[in-house]
Amino acid sequence: STSTEHFGKPVPQPLAAEASQLDALNQWVMEVARLTEPARIQWCDGSDSEHDELVELMQDDGTLLPLNPDTHPNSWLHLSDPDDVARVEHLTFVCTGDAETAGPNNHWMAPDEAHAKMDALFAGCMRGRTMYVVPYCMGPIDSPLARCGVEVTDSPYVVANMRIMTRMGAAALARIEREGSFVRGLHSIGELDPERRFIMHFPEELLIKSYGSGYGGNALLGKKCHALRIASYQARQEGWLAEHMLIVGIENPQGETHYIAAAFPSACGKTNLAMLIPPESYRRAGWKVWTVGDDICWMRPGADGRLWAINPEAGYFGVAPGTSAKSNPNALASIQRDTIFTNVATTADRQPWWEGLDDRVPAKDWQGRDYDRNNSPAAHPNSRFTVSAKQCPSYSPHAEDPQGVPISAIVFGGRRASLVPLVFEARDWTHGVLVGASMGSETTAAATGAVGVMRRDPMAMKPFCGYNFADYFAHWLSFDKPGAKLPKIFHVNWFRKGDDGQFLWPGFGDNLRVLEWMIGRVKGEARAVDTPIGALPKADDLNLEGVELTPEAQDKLFAFEREGWLREFDGIAGYLNEYGGRLPSALLVEQKNIAATLRG
């Protein structure tokens, strides 16, 4: 590690001081083995033969069920424990020495207490099981922005997913040997008992301990635990950003490509936006869309002052329900082979199926039971596909550039049935940080708990920021300095509803119309009207040729509703106050100024 400061205090550098990172890794693996007592240890090299053996093993024990090899070659179905189908935010902790460092946005536990609790759970938990040692790299293996980790797990399903979602195996191990530090992740499915389940992060030790879940973000530790919670903490120390954002390249008919990074909460359409198919008229004119990433974005200022971004992941862990030839043909094309499906339904001929795919009737539901329409939905609302990024037809030829891609615009967005217009632009960086910090969204099935409840979800990082949001906002503000050529910041809302409860904006491919307007703003070409909340387009500032909008939609999607925003800003003030004196004053000043303008 290059960092010797931890929030202003010097930190010990235990790993950098080791003779070799491999010694450090070996020592830790042995320590873990003494604690968990596995029957055997397998170091994963990422090879095809290793993968084939794992798949065979999982077929034998029923962890993986084969899908129809004629329609979906090399594809598998995994059905998780019905009590283990989503991230568990109430059981997810950030364990820093000081509770204030974790902040009110995280559940906190003192590191000693957390270690004791977790080690008691891990004691002997791998008896009779194989312990897999999984070295992985987040980001292109030759990228200076990439970071490595090692996950130790007793779940072959996790290994198979990590092989798709990360650069896993020998190359990662070689990079770890060269590098100053790596993130350690200890994982066991334990008994899959929700009462014995915790996801603990120790950012000061670059360490994760996860017990009792085999699902997604709880178990694939490279993803949310490393690439967001631990990485956001490291990014603050080292001057970069680890964000819950897709990255998409928009190529115009002149052949210029602008890269946009966009933050939306889980299950709010990041994958669809990242893989967008342009409307017919745009396609004919020569517009193209390139997918760089669909969930996580690591970015840092380059020598030219711009922000350069990589996708730390190598695959997509996408939400299945709603994915169809109409909503996301690129995703559908990606998952016709070499895909792991989790908690979807199946047809009589063992094809994967979910609500919104097509009008076939499934034979089995996500629990493997005969489908019964009274027991719907057939696929779990948070069911997923895991697939290599390379299988996506729109995968960007620059997705693996070691230096990343330059970001022209940052977009924040949530699910808001009312008030929030289709799009607006922040006046400047500080205003944009406030826009991100005050994001609100209705909750989805990606985490356990109530669905459809409005909550504040700053930068879509509420479940993922590894430290105090007040410090995170200050970190964001710190990028605005001499020489910086920062992207413009926008806010979008694809989810505005009319009085009849129906969505007012068609979304999906038509979202390109909004992205085109943003790029026009970046280039100083597109028009907008200044309002207290930012610059809004009028309907005819966008290319809406071929879109049927009702008069209500025309009105609401482009309206600035002063009364509603006054109330919204009261809510935002109340939320920001939860961070007390630690909140950067520039953000409070911004919020107070806008509130004053709103009052007129």
Q: Is residue 218 within the footprint of Mn ion (CB under 5 A)?
A: no
Q: End-to-end alpha-carbon separation of the chain, Å?
A: 51
Residue nearer to ligand SAT on the CB measure, 266 or 543: 266
Among 198, 317, 472, 473, binds ligand SAT (CB under 6 A): 317
Q: Minimal CA–CA distance to 399: which of 489, 471, 296, 318?
A: 296
Contact window for ligand SAT (CB under 6 A) among 112-120, 217-225, 255-263, 530-538: 217-225
Bridge partners, residue 258, by sequence: 250
- Helix, strand or coil, per DSSP, at residue 282: helix
Distance CA 466, CA 488 (A): 25
Catalytic, 297? Answer: no
Residue nearer to Mn ion on the CB measure, 445 or 557: 445
User: Cβ of residue 583: shortest distance to ligand SAT, in angstroms?
Assistant: 27
Q: Is residue 243 within the footprint of Mn ion (CB under 5 A)?
A: no
Q: Is residue 223 within the footprint of ligand SAT (CB under 6 A)?
A: yes
Among 310, 446, 518, 533, binds ligand SAT (CB under 6 A): 446
Contact window for ligand SAT (CB under 6 A) among 215-223, 279-287, 337-345, 448-456: 215-223
Among 50, 84, 243, 295, binds Mn ion (CB under 5 A): 295
Q: Is residue 266 within the footprint of ligand SAT (CB under 6 A)?
A: yes
Contact window for ligand SAT (CB under 6 A) among 92-100, 196-204, 216-224, 396-404: 216-224
Q: Is residue 89 within the footprint of Mn ion (CB under 5 A)?
A: no
DSSP state of 166: S
Distance CA 528, CA 424 (A): 9
Distance CA 516, CA 503 (A): 21
Query: Computed from CA positions of residues 217, 218, 221, 225, in that sequence, does the dihedral angle turn out positive or negative?
Result: positive
Catalytic residue among 44, 95, 137, 268: 268
What residue spans of 200-321 are helical by DSSP H? 216-219, 231-238, 270-274, 280-285
Q: Is residue 266 within the footprint of Mn ion (CB under 5 A)?
A: yes
Q: Which does 232 bind (CB under 5 to 8 A by kind): ligand SAT, Mn ion, none?
A: none
Residue nearer to ligand SAT on the CB measure, 439 or 576: 439
Q: Minimal CA–CA distance to 296: which of 312, 307, 309, 308?
A: 312
Q: Are 444 and 557 contacting, i.e. CB atoms less than 8 angstroms apart?
A: no
Residue nearer to ligand SAT on the CB measure, 245 or 405: 245
SS3 content of the chain, % helix, strand, coil (to 5): 35, 25, 45
Q: Is residue 342 within the footprint of Mn ion (CB under 5 A)?
A: no
Nearest to ligand SAT by Cβ — which residue?
217
Give CB contacts under 8 A, 24+ apart, made by 527-530: 528/425
Active site (catalytic) residues = 268
Interacting residues toward Mn ion by CB under 5 A: 266, 295
Interacting residues toward ligand SAT by CB under 6 A: 87, 216-217, 223-224, 266, 317, 446
